[in-house]
């Protein structure tokens, strides 16, 4: 026992004068009493009556002594240290709902064991945090019945694991309060801050942190890479087991098997397969039986394939641009040679002018091309010697630049902006060398895409009406660009940009991403929701108003469910498993004052019974 106010013990000195006063007895006074008042009982009865009388006479003294002593001790604030569990006040459950929690554990899955552990540790006011790739608070300072109701509705997701941020969220929820934080997981941590650092921060504020590991040894073969392309898709498959695995990989569209390949993967190794990308929805399935099903299927979504119809107008038999367009499987190319241009009859997606003869090109065709653009067409005008000499007001009006003759100097062409068709130059912006070019100055309202180091615009775009015109200022005969592997890619990307062909990457996502859309009803793999922000935390197909998207786990760390191969290895000693208690002071001040009050009440009652009141 200790005392918070030792000076209060001096109050016990008040007992000394109290005892002295009690010991000072008044002198006896002689009185005449009739003898008939005394009737003697037998000796034994007399002794008992005498003892009871003395006890009753001293009872008042004892009550007063106890009252004074209790009051004196209350002033000194006595206390004792007793075991105290912080869980009796606040409990924060951090529940791992990542993809690895779907792994089999006997006849159940790891998540079932996690739920049982959570339900058995609901004390005090309860908060629940779901540890996905981003922590999600689903209950804050709730009651036990609320927590049980919520836990009964939770199922594991298909995301990566971020326990570190979940612990930091638990710290924010507790604030200045103390409590017990219970982390229930298989501790396959694939992202976020170090959980031991987050744990230390919680403990330093007086909280208790318990880690419950529900992981177990498991076997798995999973799809860990998926590179969906417009024409082909590359699939990376990893074998996490200690033995070689051989199985079939199927490409399925609807209920039909499109193709099937057999693969053999050595222990703890990865292999890749290539499939032709189907249009619309399809899926790749591994014909294996392991302990994690979510990475045995990869969903694919692709827009319907549509060729870009291009009209190429030229007077040259050989042309680098023409060769690049002919080599593209996405292009349906038609070539017209002036003067047979028939510009009045154009319904193509894109028109390209390159190496035209000023003597053969009919001036009236420029009027038709101008009308084609203003109605929504896309026109590319390629630079050539003598382009500035063509006598056509319509051509000069169509061009997004003003031409000022040829400059013969060696220089480099660099991208001014990185967009859909210059993204390949993001790391090395200077992508071509030229020995000559047409000097230009951009017109008002144009958008410069590339230029020479001499600040002459080489590639520039201008919107006209509801159509667009691009000036391609690299004269291929005076440049090395046509010999580079980036040249056909540039033209393919440029055409796709002009006709706004849908990118397959806009149809395929990883779990954990957040997709912003206009407010609409979205059909997820498990429910229909009305939203403008889709949290992609389930693997499968999401149906939007304008398209269907595929969402896959594709996480090499999350698929590594083998117990001994965790990225974060934790022993029971380091985790602090079990229920931890701390000692707290139990103060007797209030109980003593209550006891003194009860003694005083009893004293008054005793005096009343005795007849002194």
* One domain for residues 350 and 458: yes
d(CA 283, CA 296): 10
Which residues have C-beta within 8 Å of that of residue 430, sequence separation ≥ 6?
412, 413, 414, 415
* One domain for residues 190 and 154: yes
d(CA 443, CA 462): 9
Which among 187, 104, 118, 102 is positioned nearest to 151, based on CA atoms?
A: 118
Structure tokens at 510: 């990883």
* One domain for residues 429 and 487: yes
* One domain for residues 126 and 50: no
pLDDT of 427 reads 87
* One domain for residues 448 and 432: yes
457: helix, strand or coil = strand
Question: Domain for residue 32, yes or no?
Answer: no
* One domain for residues 279 and 383: no
12 burial via Cβ count (<10 Å: 0-12, 13-18, 19+): middle
* Strand order through the sheet with 582-587: 2-3, 78-84, 582-587
Question: Domain for residue 125, yes or no?
Answer: yes
**Domain of residue 346, CATH code:** 3.40.50.880
24: helix, strand or coil = coil
Residue with tokens 């190429």: 312
pLDDT of 509 reads 96
* One domain for residues 482 and 538: no
**Ordered mean pLDDT values, 10 residues apiece, the chain (613 residues):** 63 66 59 54 48 56 72 70 66 96 93 94 93 94 94 94 95 91 93 92 90 92 92 93 95 93 95 92 95 96 87 93 92 93 90 91 89 93 91 89 91 90 88 93 91 88 93 94 93 89 87 92 94 94 93 95 54 42 66 77 74 64
| Model pTM score | 0.64
Structure tokens at 215: 């992981």
d(CA 383, CA 553): 47
pLDDT of 194 reads 92
Question: Domain for residue 494, yes or no?
Answer: yes
15 burial via Cβ count (<10 Å: 0-12, 13-18, 19+): middle
Question: Domain for residue 504, yes or no?
Answer: no
d(CA 189, CA 561): 11
* Bridge partners (DSSP) listed for residue 248: 262
Cis omega before residue 339 (within 30°)? yes
* One domain for residues 74 and 92: no
* One domain for residues 575 and 592: no
Which residues have C-beta within 8 Å of that of residue 605, sequence separation ≥ 6?
none
* One domain for residues 104 and 207: yes
pLDDT of 120 reads 92
pLDDT of 199 reads 92
Question: Domain for residue 514, yes or no?
Answer: yes
Residue 355 domain boundaries: 308-499
**DSSP tag of 75:** H
* One domain for residues 286 and 203: no
Question: Domain for residue 266, yes or no?
Answer: yes
Question: Domain for residue 556, yes or no?
Answer: no
Residue 568, phi then psi, degrees to nearest 5: -115, 105
* One domain for residues 376 and 488: yes
Which among 599, 590, 605, 591 is positioned nearest to 68, based on CA atoms?
A: 599
Question: Domain for residue 540, yes or no?
Answer: yes
Number of domains in the chain: 5
């Amino acid at each position: 026992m200790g005392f918070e106010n030792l000076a209060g013990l001096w109050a016990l000195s008040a007992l000394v004068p109290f005892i002295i006063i009690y010991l000072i007895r008044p002198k006896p006074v002689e009185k005449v009493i009739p003898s008939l008042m005394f009737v003697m009982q037998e000796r034994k009865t007399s002794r008992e009556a005498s003892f009871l009388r003395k006890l009753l006479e001293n009872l008042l003294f004892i009550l007063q002594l106890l009252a004074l002593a209790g009051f004196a001790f209350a002033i000194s604030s006595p206390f004792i240290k007793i075991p105290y569990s912080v869980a009796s006040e606040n409990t924060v459950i951090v529940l791992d709902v990542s993809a690895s929690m779907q792994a089999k554990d006997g006849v159940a899955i790891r998540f079932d064991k996690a739920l049982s552990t959570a339900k058995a540790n609901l004390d005090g006011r309860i908060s629940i945090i779901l540890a996905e790739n981003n922590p999600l608070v689903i209950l804050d300072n709730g009651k036990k019945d609320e927590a049980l109701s919520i836990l009964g509705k939770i199922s594991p997701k298909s995301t990566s694991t971020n326990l570190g941020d979940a612990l930091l969220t638990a710290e924010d929820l507790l604030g200045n309060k103390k409590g017990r934080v219970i982390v229930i997981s298989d501790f396959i941590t694939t992202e976020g801050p170090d959980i031991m650092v987050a744990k230390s921060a919680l403990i330093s504020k007086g909280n208790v942190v318990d880690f419950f590991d529900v992981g177990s040894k498991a076997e798995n073969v999973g799809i860990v890479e998926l590179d969906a392309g417009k024409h082909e898709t590359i699939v990376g498959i990893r074998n996490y087991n200690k033995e070689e695995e051989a199985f079939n990989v199927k490409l399925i569209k609807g209920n039909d098997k499109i193709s099937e390949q057999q693969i053999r993967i050595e222990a703890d190794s990865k292999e890749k397969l290539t499939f032709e990308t189907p249009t619309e929805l399809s899926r790749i399935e591994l014909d294996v039986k392991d302990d994690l099903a979510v990475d045995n299927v990869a969903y694919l979504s692709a827009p319907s394939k549509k060729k870009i119809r291009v009209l190429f107008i030229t007077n040259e038999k050989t042309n680098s641009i023409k060769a690049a367009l002919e080599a593209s499987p996405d292009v349906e190319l038609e070539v017209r040679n002036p003067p047979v241009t028939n510009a009045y009859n154009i319904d193509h997606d894109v028109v390209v002018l390159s190496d035209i003869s000023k003597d053969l090109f009919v001036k009236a065709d420029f009027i038709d091309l101008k009308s084609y653009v203003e109605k929504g067409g896309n026109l590319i005008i390629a630079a050539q010697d003598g382009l500035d000499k063509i006598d056509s007001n319509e051509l000069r009006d169509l061009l997004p630049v003003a031409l000022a003759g040829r400059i013969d100097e060696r220089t480099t062409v660099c991208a001014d902006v990185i967009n859909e068709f210059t993204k390949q130059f993001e790391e090395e912006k200077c992508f071509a060398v030229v020995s000559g070019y047409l000097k230009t100055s951009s017109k008002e309202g144009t958008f410069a895409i590339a230029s020479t180091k001499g600040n002459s615009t080489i590639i520039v775009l201008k919107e006209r009406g509801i159509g667009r015109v691009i000036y391609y200022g690299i004269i291929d005969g005076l440049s090395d660009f046509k010999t580079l592997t980036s040249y056909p890619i540039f033209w393919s990307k440029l055409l796709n940009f002009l006709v706004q062909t849908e990118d397959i990457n806009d149809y395929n996502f990883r779990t954990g991403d957040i997709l912003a859309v206009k407010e609409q009803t979205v059909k997820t793999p498990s429910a229909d929701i009305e939203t403008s922000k889709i949290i992609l935390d389930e693997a499968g197909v999401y149906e939007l108003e304008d398209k269907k998207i595929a969402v896959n786990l594709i996480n090499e760390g999350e698929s590594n469910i083998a117990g001994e191969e965790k990225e974060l290895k934790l022993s029971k000693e380091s985790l602090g498993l079990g229920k931890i208690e701390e000692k707290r002071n139990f103060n007797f001040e209030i109980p003593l004052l209550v006891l003194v009050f009860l003694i005083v009440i009893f004293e008054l009652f005793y005096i009343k019974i005795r007849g002194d009141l």
